[in-house]
A and B are shown apart, each in its own frame.
Chain A
Amino acid sequence: MRDWLAGLRASLPIAVGYLPVAVAFGLAARSAGLSVFEAVFASAAVFAGASQFALVGLAGAGSASVVALATALALNVRHLLYGPVLAPLLRGCARGWQALLAFGLTDEVFATAAARLATVPEGVRHRWLLGLVTGAYGAWVAGTWLGAAGGSLLVALLPRLGPVLAFALPVLFLVLLLPLLHGSAAVTAAVAAVVTLPLHLAGRTGLGLLVGTITGVLAGMVWDRWMTQKHSQREIE
């Protein structure tokens, strides 16, 4: 219970950032003609913001279901990278726990887990991660319900309060990144950011995240090799 609560506490910045985005999703779903149940069901089942917004947008615009399905899934391709990164940290977990925890691997949950899970004792990592997922998932589903069922008060509040609360997510990413920035990881992060930016600005954010990550990792590995060679040359001299 204590480890679950620690994970839940760690989810607070994610929950704060998720709430306004989820409320916005609830509102968008209602304006696209979906019922409160349909909006909440989407958040509860998919738990992936970008693809949910795409679904609502495309379904609302009357696009073919196959197009909506392919687009929503394409937006989540980057999630393929999350499992392999977390695998060494979850090796001790039972398969049932892995199956449960994988459901909650959103961008923000992944980033927090990747940066902090190593500091959690191995035997309780699954409970800590469950707490993290619970907080993020609870905020996402509750926020969607608030947006879908809420009235004009939310519509009035959201333009002012929404951006402020949503700013918690970039700050969270930055604070998670800072302790990782040393040696080749710093080079990796810099290259990933630089490569992601133009694709993101061109409206291809999903592709940018994928290409940026792969390029960043390759650059970090090249840097590693170069530094090792430099070091061994110095030793020979």
Chain B
Amino acid sequence: MSWILLVLLVAIGTYLMRLLPLWVTLRAEPARTSGSEARGRALALAAPAIIAALLVASVVPAKPEATASEMARRLIGLSVAAVAFRWRPHLAMAVFVGVAVYAVLSLL
């Protein structure tokens, strides 16, 4: 199989995984059943669950190549970003502050 064909198949599969559940859910919406309240609650809780899972996967390295000091830099950067966001809830600024602190710590 050529590279282009392989990429196309993965692209189509990925796209369908993103699109079809959206359409299926929207189509099912008007036909509300007794379980729709529980389903709505589950979907509302899915957002924090997914974001928390993504956070863990992006902070903790899958391979144990990160040293304790690297983990400390990451945790300090995240903590400062959290404090900045609590102080002033501006998303881009908090991200910038977190990255800047991590950059400075990486240079030390």
Q: Which residue numbers of A lie inside 8 Å of B, CB to CB?
A: 9-10, 12-13, 16, 34, 38, 41-42, 45-48, 51, 55, 59, 65, 68-69, 72-73, 76-88, 90-91, 95, 98-99, 102-103, 105, 107, 110-111, 114-116, 163-165, 167-181, 184-186, 188-193, 195-197, 200-201, 203, 205, 208-209, 212-214, 216-217, 220-221, 224
Chain A residues whose C-beta falls within 8 Å of the C-beta of B45 in the assembled complex: 184-185, 188, 216-217, 220-221
- Decide if B57 touches A205 in the complex (CB within 8 Å): yes
- Decide if A51 touches B6 in the complex (CB within 8 Å): no
Closest to A87 in B: B25
Greatest chain B CB density within 10 A among A16, A105, A116 is at A105
- Decide if A13 touches B92 in the complex (CB within 8 Å): yes
Q: List 20 A-B contacts (CB under 8 A).
A: A13-B95, A42-B3, A51-B14, A81-B21, A82-B18, A95-B23, A98-B19, A98-B23, A114-B47, A171-B102, A172-B95, A173-B54, A174-B81, A175-B95, A177-B48, A177-B52, A178-B85, A200-B62, A209-B54, A220-B49
- Decide if B29 touches A45 in the complex (CB within 8 Å): no
- Decide if A201 touches B51 in the complex (CB within 8 Å): no
CB-CB under 8 A for A212 and B15, given A16-B99, A41-B4, A83-B20: no
B72 interface residue (CB < 8 Å to A):
no
- Decide if A73 touches B13 in the complex (CB within 8 Å): yes
B53 interface residue (CB < 8 Å to A):
yes
Chain A residues whose C-beta falls within 8 Å of the C-beta of B47 in the assembled complex: 85, 111, 114-115, 180
Chain B 1-43: CB-based contact to A (< 8 A → 1; otherwise 0): 1011011111101110111111111100100000000101111
Chain A residues whose C-beta falls within 8 Å of the C-beta of B21 in the assembled complex: 80-84
Instruction: Give the complex CA separation of A55 and B3 in angstroms.
Output: 9
Q: Interface residue tally of chain B, by bracket?
A: 35 or more
Chain B residues whose C-beta falls within 8 Å of the C-beta of A190 in the assembled complex: 52
Which residues, 57 to 88 on B, are CB-close (under 8 Å) to A? Answer: 57-60, 62-64, 74, 77-78, 81-82, 85-86
- Decide if A80 touches B17 in the complex (CB within 8 Å): yes
- Decide if B59 touches A170 in the complex (CB within 8 Å): yes
Chain B residues whose C-beta falls within 8 Å of the C-beta of A221 in the assembled complex: 38, 41-42, 45
Chain B residues whose C-beta falls within 8 Å of the C-beta of A102 in the assembled complex: 15, 18-19, 22
Instruction: Give the complex CA separation of A91 and B27 in angstroms.
Output: 10
Instruction: Give the complex CA separation of A51 and B58 in angstroms.
Output: 16
- Decide if A83 touches B13 in the complex (CB within 8 Å): no
B56 interface residue (CB < 8 Å to A):
yes
CB-CB under 8 A for A173 and B55, given A42-B7, A192-B48: yes
Instruction: Give the complex CA separation of A176 and B47 in angstroms.
Output: 10
- Decide if A69 touches B10 in the complex (CB within 8 Å): yes
CB-CB under 8 A for A46 and B10, given A41-B4, A79-B17, A200-B57: yes
